[in-house]
């Protein structure tokens, strides 16, 4: 899997997503954070031809999750993760990608995002073959998101 720019831990991307939601007064739960990370990674693969973070997702019952990020913010439960973080340094194209993906996804309910994740090939395949709590290799995301055509428009 190709990496463009810098490779980040998913936790740093999560902090950016949390900041974005806090600054824009948008509600963000731990359940909503996971699909946002999934689609940021997917769109990075599709548009930039490389991953943005090194962590992988696992197939859980309700969604694909980055376990470390989920457990870090799981204490919020269904409550809003309303925090801000300083010192988040990203390249301009990374910021544009994240902002556009977050903005695009804001039109969908959390339950819809989770349902869509479960219905897409990376989750379906790994869950069917290996079951719950199985790692979704970035190569599966690359194959799926790399095959997308013009059905979705994200301006970068």
Mean pLDDT for all residues in the chain: 90
Domain ranges of the chain: 3-146
- The pLDDT of residue 14 is 97
Say yes or no to pLDDT of 7 above 70: yes
Written as six digits, the tokens of 53 are 């973070």
Positive or negative CA dihedral for 155, 30, 56, 20? positive
- The pLDDT of residue 49 is 84
- The pLDDT of residue 2 is 53
Read off the pLDDT of each residue in 6-11 and give the average, rounded to a whole number.
Answer: 91
pLDDT in tens, 81-122: 988 898 899 999 999 999 999 999 999 999 999 999 999 999
pLDDT in tens, 39-90: 999 999 888 888 999 899 999 999 999 999 999 999 888 888 988 898 899 9
Positive or negative CA dihedral for 144, 150, 154, 156? positive
Cα 75 to Cα 81: distance, rounded to the nearest angstrom: 10
Backbone angles phi, psi at 96, to 5 degrees: -60, -45
- The pLDDT of residue 48 is 85
Say yes or no to pLDDT of 13 above 70: yes
CA 104 to chain centre: 13
* pTM (whole model) above 0.85: yes
pLDDT in tens, 116-156: 999 999 999 999 999 999 999 988 998 898 887 555 555 55
């Amino acid at each position: 899997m190709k990496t463009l720019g810098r490779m980040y831990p998913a936790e740093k991307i999560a902090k950016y997503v949390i900041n974005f939601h806090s600054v824009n007064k948008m509600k963000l739960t731990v359940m909503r954070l996971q699909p946002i990370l999934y689609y940021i990674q997917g769109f990075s693969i599709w548009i930039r031809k490389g991953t943005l973070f090194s962590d992988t997702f696992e197939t859980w019952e309700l969604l694909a999750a980055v376990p470390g990020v989920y457990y870090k913010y799981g204490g919020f439960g269904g409550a809003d993760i309303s925090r801000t973080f300083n010192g988040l340094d990203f390249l301009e194209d990374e910021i544009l990608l994240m902002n556009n993906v977050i903005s695009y996804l804001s039109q969908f309910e959390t339950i819809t995002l989770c349902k869509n994740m479960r219905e897409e090939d990376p989750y379906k395949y790994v869950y069917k073959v290996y079951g719950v709590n199985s790692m979704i290799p970035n190569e599966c995301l690359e194959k799926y998101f790399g095959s997308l055509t013009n059905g979705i428009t994200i301006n970068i």
